[in-house]
Amino acid sequence: MAVLTADLAVDRATSTSSHPVRLLQVFAVTVMVLPADYVVKAIGADGYAAALVAYMMFLAWVAATLFGLHDPRQFHYPVRMALGGLWVVTLASYVLMNRGLLSTIQLAAADRWLMQLAATSGVVLVAAEWLYSLDDVRRVIRTLTWAGAFCGIVAVLQFKAKTDLTKYLKLPGFSTNGIAAVNAVIGSRSGQSRVPGTATDPIELGVVAAMLLPLAAYLLMHDKERPKLQRWLPFMGIALAIPASVSRSAIIGVVVALGVLIVSLPPVRRLKGLSAVPPAVGVVFVAAHGLLGTLKSFFLAGTGDSSIAHRVNNYPYVLQLVHQSPWVGQGGGTYIPLSALNILDNEYLTKVIELGILGVIALLFWLFWPPIAALVARARTTDPEIRDLCAALAGAGFAGAICSVTFDSFSFPMFASIQALIAGLTGTVWIIVHREAQARLQTRSGGGS
């Protein structure tokens, strides 16, 4: 740890950030390539590989701050404010929760929520405060999209060939987390194979792929140092994961994510983006005949669909639980469904039970504020590449925030990890844009004098 923090001090002095970039690249690979249902048994459900990397980043940031190698007061970005709000409500709920009414399993879950929040903080703080340039951001996104493409290829093999590569991706010292592994299987929905890739659930796979797609599109447009094939392959690999998930949430996510990006493009490129939609739909139709009809039936079913009716029927149950502790809830992570009928499939409903009204406000702030900040940063810069990067990050963030209505998103490690990384990169871009604005102001002031 001391070596790492010392190296970070040297990095800051020379305006490079090789170590943080590598850490975030390793994190991206462990999130998307290594299945989260393989964990270190001594740690438990939060002992999956990506979480271990995130804990290391959090400890590195804390150590660097305590030993004077890093001063977080030099950095001002709205993402950290949103993260801080979530921490405040979480700690208040943890202190005030009635431990006498909670089971041993629920108390352990409350501790796991704190661990998850610490992992999220490590990713956000390192990404936002230890990446210093657009090139750093681009390097991290390259790795992230290639890792996402690998996940997509695993999903396609599961979908088309019924071949599951995840059994070969187990690291030494890791064992299967039985609870997470229940959903991480090749299933079926309305006659269509429904696969998770390296995620723990098909919905998680589809939503995360939708969040990554605009970032792959950003590289496709601007990473001109790479050959065209190296820019198209990650995009296609990620895109293939979306239909393989057979998920409404994935379709909603990709419409939001790419919609924000396409609308933000200049008119000519916007027209090109819209013209690519019909061929993409045609490819899905040819590759997976019947899939489009299945997805169409899901959207037109309304409350006649059992999964939608199930969500609606749980509203009175949620209201009853909220009344027991309305402001700070019963404790973060402590909502454990008594039966399958009580699975909420809505992160906002879960958090209003666990963290109360203040908690769901903090959650809304945490999920929506980063993409809003990305759009604000986009409006403050004239650099075309940064403007498109901001739009891609905003699309990814809004997709995650909106899809959290359709599943209990923070119960899924891949989603929580990717959402944290996107928020952290948003913080990086905010700081880059702010420094650009300061430089322009100093230039004008110098010219005037």
Q: Are 245 and 399 in contact (CB under 8 A)?
A: no
**341 CB burial (10 A radius; 0-12, 13-18, 19+):** exposed
Query: Is the pTM higher than 0.85?
Result: yes
| Residue entry with tokens 């029927």 | 313
Residue 131 above 90 pLDDT?
A: yes
Please, which pLDDT band fits residue 270 given cuts at 50, 70 and 90?
confident
Q: How many CB atoms lie within 10 A of CB 230?
A: 13
**233 CB burial (10 A radius; 0-12, 13-18, 19+):** middle
Q: Nearest CA to 261 among 226, 225, 210, 299?
A: 210
Q: Nearest CA to 362 among 342, 377, 347, 346?
A: 347
Average pLDDT for residues 230-250, to the nearest whole number?
91
Average pLDDT for residues 342-346, to the nearest whole number?
89
Distance in angstroms (rounded) separating the CA atoms of residues 319 and 210 = 31
Mean pLDDT for the chain overall: 87
**63 CB burial (10 A radius; 0-12, 13-18, 19+):** middle
Of residues 248 and 418, more confidence is placed in 418
Distance in angstroms (rounded) separating the CA atoms of residues 352 and 94 = 14
Distance in angstroms (rounded) separating the CA atoms of residues 234 and 236 = 6
Distance in angstroms (rounded) separating the CA atoms of residues 151 and 25 = 15
Residue 360 above 80 pLDDT?
A: yes
In tens, the pLDDT along 4-35 reads 444 444 444 334 568 899 999 999 999 999 99
Q: Structural domain of residue 75, as residue ranges? A: 2-448
The pLDDT assigned to 3 comes to 44
Distance in angstroms (rounded) separating the CA atoms of residues 201 and 245 = 9
Q: Nearest CA to 415 among 199, 158, 241?
A: 199
Q: Nearest CA to 142 among 389, 414, 427, 400?
A: 389
3-state secondary structure labels for all residues of the chain: CHHHHHHHHHHHHHCCCHHHHHHHHHHHHHHHHCCCCEECCCCCCCCEHHHHHHHHHHHHHHHHHHCCCCCHHHCCCHHHHHHHHHHHHHHHHHHHCCHHHCCHHHHHHHHHHHHHHHHHHHHHHHHHHHCCCHHHHHHHHHHHHHHHHHHHHHHHHHHHHCCCHHHHCCCCCCEECHHHHCCCCCEEECCEEECCCCCCCHHHHHHHHHHHHHHHHHHHHHCCCCCHHHHHHHHHHHHHHHHHCCCHHHHHHHHHHHHHHHHHCCHHHHHHHHHCHHHHHHHHHHHCCCHHHHHHHHHHCHHHCHHHHHHHHCHHHHHHHHHHCCCCCCCCCCCCCCCHHHCCCCHHHHHHHHHHHHHHHHHHHHHHHHHHHHHHHHHHCCCHHHHHHHHHHHHHHHHHHHHCCCCCHHHCHHHHHHHHHHHHHHHHHHHHHHHHHHHHHHHHHHHHC
The pLDDT assigned to 11 comes to 42
Distance in angstroms (rounded) separating the CA atoms of residues 260 and 224 = 22
Average pLDDT for residues 294-322, to the nearest whole number?
69
Distance in angstroms (rounded) separating the CA atoms of residues 393 and 399 = 10
In tens, the pLDDT along 141-199 reads 999 999 999 999 999 999 888 889 998 998 899 988 865 544 555 555 545 668 999 99
- Spell 388-414 as b/e; 16+ CB within 10 A means b: bbbbbbbbbbbbbbbbbebbbbbbbbb
Distance in angstroms (rounded) separating the CA atoms of residues 51 and 38 = 11
Distance in angstroms (rounded) separating the CA atoms of residues 80 and 128 = 9
Percent of the chain with pLDDT over 90: 68
Of residues 411 and 338, more confidence is placed in 411
In tens, the pLDDT along 43-95 reads 888 899 999 999 999 999 999 999 999 999 999 999 999 999 999 999 999 99
The pLDDT assigned to 10 comes to 40
The number of distinct structural domains making up the chain is 1
Average pLDDT for residues 292-312, to the nearest whole number?
58
The pLDDT assigned to 84 comes to 97
Beta bridge partners of 38: 176
Please, which pLDDT band fits residue 300 given cuts at 50, 70 and 90?
low
The pLDDT assigned to 267 comes to 87
Residue 444 above 70 pLDDT?
A: yes
- Token pair of 84 as six digits: 């801080």
